[in-house]
Amino acid sequence: MRTLQERIALFEKSDLYPVVSSEFCNGRDVCDIVAEIAAGGAKIVQIREKHQSDAAVFELVKKCKLITDRFNMLLIVDDRLDIAMAAGADGVHLGQEDFPLSEAKKLAPELLFGISTHNACEITAALAGNCGYLNIGPMFPTRTKSVACGALGLELIEQLRSRVTCPFSVMGGIKEHHLPMLTGKGFRHIAMVTEITQAVNVREKVSALREIMLKGISR
């Protein structure tokens, strides 16, 4: 079992951050998609299931953990602290209306907790709660998740990132053609959903996206 510090270190070494939801997999099995993501070289994956039963999500996360363990990847579960703990996942990604970070950390102090943030106040609160990492977004318009604030845009996200003192990712409507610009501006952890999960060849897509990112990061 990894420690929190080991999980944070693995997050910092990651680059592309695939987020997988069954509703955006074009009818394909989530475990098959996760296996292809792993084969493509990603170091982290998040399972986000909003519309399945608790039992189904638990079984899914357990199956995905077999894959992520084999590839030494971080496995993050969206929202569900109970399922993450029971299935042995590495962390939980919490939204602003999910289980409170302070209480979650008491229950599972070694898990990596990510927090979705959309403005300066939420970033300040996440940092005060000593989150493992935070996400800023959505950067561009997206159909995979609706938030009241709408798309923030690159300029505002660049302003917000100056407040962040922990590892962070960005997300929301990001496509392959955005990557050179984003990595050129210093964004190192970029989360994507449909650009990955709806690709014809997920393994090749992940490999190609990571190659673009690593070229930009190394400059």
**pLDDT score of 217:** 79
Please compute the mean of the pLDDT values over residues 145-150 and round it to a whole number: 64
**pLDDT score of 216:** 83
Report the chain's mean pLDDT, rounded to a whole number.
Answer: 95
Residue whose tokens read 């318009």: 141
Let me know: does 43 contact 15? Beta carbons within 8 Å.
yes
**pLDDT score of 147:** 57
Let me know: does 203 contact 32? Beta carbons within 8 Å.
no
**pLDDT score of 166:** 97
**Can you name the residues that pair with 56 across neighbouring β-strands?**
none
**pLDDT score of 219:** 65
Share of the chain above pLDDT 90, in %: 93
Digit-coded pLDDT (tens) for 177-196: 999 999 999 999 999 999 99
Whether residue 125 is predicted with pLDDT greater than 60 in this model: the reply is yes
144 versus 55: the higher-pLDDT residue is: 55
Q: Is the pTM of this model over 0.85?
A: yes
**pLDDT score of 114:** 98
Share of the chain above pLDDT 70, in %: 96
The angle subtended at Cα 85 by Cα 80 and Cα 91, nearest 5°, is 70
Confidence of residue 67 (pLDDT cuts 50, 70, 90): very high
**pLDDT score of 139:** 95
Q: Spell out the SS3 assignment of the chain.
A: CCCHHHHHHHHHHCCEEEEECHHHCCCCCHHHHHHHHHHCCCCEEEECCCCCCHHHHHHHHHHHHHHHHHCCCEEEEECCHHHHHHHCCCEEEECCCCCCHHHHHHHCCCCEEEEEECCHHHHHHHHHCCCCEEEECCCCCCCCCCCCCCCCCHHHHHHHHCCCCCCEEECCCCCHHHHHHHHHCCCCCEEECHHHHCCCCHHHHHHHHHHHHHHHHHC
